[in-house]
Amino acid sequence: MKIDRVVDLYVSSKVQRSLLLLFSLAWMADAAGVMMMTFTLGGISSEWHLSIFQSSTIASLTFAGMLLGAISSGFVLDLAGRKFAMNLFLAFTIFFTFIDGFSPSPLFFGIFRLLSGIGYGGLMPSVNAYLSESTSIKIRGRYLVLLESSWAVGSILIGLYAVTFGSAWRSVYYSILVASLIFIPFLRIKESPRYVFLKKGKKGLEELFGRRIEEDIETIEKPVVPVKALFGKKYFKSTILVWSSWFTISLIYYGLFTWLPKILSASGIQANALWFTFFIFLAQLPGYLSAAYFIEKIGRKPSLILFFAGTAVSSLIFSFVTNIYTLIIAGLVTSFFCMGVWGLIYAYTPELFPTSFRGSANGSAGMMARIAGIIAPYFVAAFFGTNVLHALIWFSILAFLMAFLTAFLGRETKAENIE
């Protein structure tokens, strides 16, 4: 019997739903912490009289930290376990985001932002790996997309707070303290069944579930060097697809949303640019939910092709519109498809790799996203001297290329057992 079947038999639906809810709360906290920059960068730049380059550097430090978190998460996940990794990176997320609100200068703000970024970048692959290893095969894809959809909820909530109560940017960072309540149930969860089986075998699973398991369970392959296994013949195509997908969608998303209020202002929406940004954020949630529907309806590969193509077309339209109303509509549609891709790739990635190096696979994918995140603010800022919307032409080209690459390198994992 495969370990997937063990999860089906011994992890109840109630437990799986509870895990989804708990991890979604953590994911919201992560999203809120990252996306605070969109709504506070203007206030921060004004208070400290920062140039466009300095503001871009402040924004990029978040992703530099996320890069460190993503790189380290793979080792922590595979060596110390999923539970330990989640608690560690959640602590970084909440504590250093809160401390950022007390920053006396841009230097301290950047340092604290870098440290909080370690939490953001490490928490996401940790939670993603745990949930993929603790849910039944029939609902795994949908649950992983629903988990990612909570990013939109966290973004929307922090955006709503920022545009209504966050006139002082520091208060936006203080608001993360509410997320500290997540720590209480997080400390009580048990280790992932697949990780326990990998480390302790069948006996470890029986201790985890508190009952005897009669069936024989197929062993899980243990590679000597997890990172090297990513480039083995069996997984090379998947690694290339996953890395390029994460890099592309991160460049598009953070390039667009880090500077969205300024992009809207430069395009003629001088008043209430933050409110228009907030409304564009709202389109993220239906984007995720539609991805959750399509991922089980038509499969992982065709859904990813569809949403990458949608991102490409909407970005291209966004880059050429001049009317304020069509600009907002184009922004909404781009937001919809862009976040659908995020949800799909988060669900797709852990299904392409085995338990023995799934943490390293998730972490390395996150690493590519963070590299793109570091580049994104500078990339878009370079267009402020001409027409900032022209940056979206390049986003469109990259999204089209990813749709084609997914068609050639992708493999369908719907209803498949994961090793």
Please tell me the predicted confidence (pLDDT) of residue 270: 59
Poorest-pLDDT segment among 248-262, 264-278, 363-377: 264-278
What is the enclosing helix (H) or strand (E) of 223?
A: none
What's the whole-number mean pLDDT along residues 325-333?
85
User: What's residue 198's pLDDT?
Assistant: 83
User: Regarding predicted confidence, which is higher, 201 or 24?
Assistant: 24
SS3 string, 274-324, reads HHHHHHHHHCHHHHHHHHHHHHHHCCHHHHHHHHHHHHHHHHHHHHHCCCH
Which H or E run includes 246?
helix 236-258
User: Which is more confident, 201 or 120?
Assistant: 120
pLDDT at 77: 86
Check pLDDT > 80 for residue 336.
yes
Architecture of domain 3-215+229-409: Up-down Bundle (1.20)
Q: Which range has the top average pLDDT, 17-26, 366-375, 383-392?
A: 17-26
Does the pLDDT value for residue 311 go beyond 80? yes
pLDDT for 108 beyond 90: yes
> Where does the pLDDT of residue 369 fall: very low under 50, low under 70, confident under 90, or very high at 90 and above?
confident
**Mean pLDDT, residues 256-262 taken together:** 80
Residue 232: which pLDDT band, with cuts at 50, 70 and 90?
Answer: confident
What is residue 236's predicted lDDT score, i.e. its pLDDT?
87
Of 90-94, 190-194, 325-329, the one with minimum mean pLDDT is 325-329
Give the pLDDT of residue 24.
Answer: 92
* Cα–Cα distance, 56 to 45 (Å, whole number): 10
What pLDDT, on a 0 to 100 scale, did the predictor assign at position 249?
93
Residue 250 carries which side chain, given as an amino acid letter? S
Q: Which residue has the tokens 């564009």?
A: 280
Of the two residues 141 and 299, the one the predictor is more confident about is: 299
What is the C-alpha separation between 319 and 387, in angstroms, rounded?
9
Residue 404 pLDDT class (50, 70, 90 cuts) = very high
**Per-residue confidence band for 184, with pLDDT thresholds at 50, 70 and 90:** confident
Q: What is the pLDDT of residue 303?
A: 94
Q: What is residue 138's predicted lDDT score, i.e. its pLDDT?
A: 82
Check whether 271 has a pLDDT greater than 60: no
Residue corresponding to tokens 């291209």: 316
- Taking residues 234-263, report their average pLDDT: 88
pLDDT surpasses 80 at 251: yes
pLDDT at 231 over 80: no
Question: Does residue 115 surpass a pLDDT of 80?
Answer: yes
**Residue 382, amino acid:** A
Of 301 and 296, more confident? 301
Instruction: Tell me what the mean pLDDT of segment 55-69 comes to.
Output: 89
Whole-number pLDDT of residue 391: 86
Give me the pLDDT at residue 78, please: 81
DSSP H helices, 101-176, are 106-132, 140-164, 169-174
In this predicted structure, the answer to whether residue 224 has a pLDDT above a threshold of 60 is no
Provide the terminal-to-terminal Cα distance of the chain, rounded to the nearest Å: 12
The whole-chain average pLDDT of the chain stands at 85
Per-residue pLDDT at 47 exceeds 80: yes
Binned at pLDDT 50, 70 and 90, residue 257 comes out as confident
Which tokens is 43 given? 């206030």
pLDDT of residue 98: 94
Position 106 confidence tier, pLDDT thresholds 50, 70, 90: very high
Q: Is the pLDDT of residue 248 over 90?
A: yes
Q: Would you say residue 322 has pLDDT above 80?
A: no
pLDDT of 284 strictly over 60: yes
Q: Helix %, strand %, coil % for the chain, to 5? A: 80, 0, 20
What is the residue extent of each domain of the chain?
3-215+229-409
What's the whole-number mean pLDDT along residues 64-73?
87
Q: What is the DSSP track for 346-361?
A: HHHHHHTS-GGGHHHH
pLDDT at residue 222 is higher than 70: no
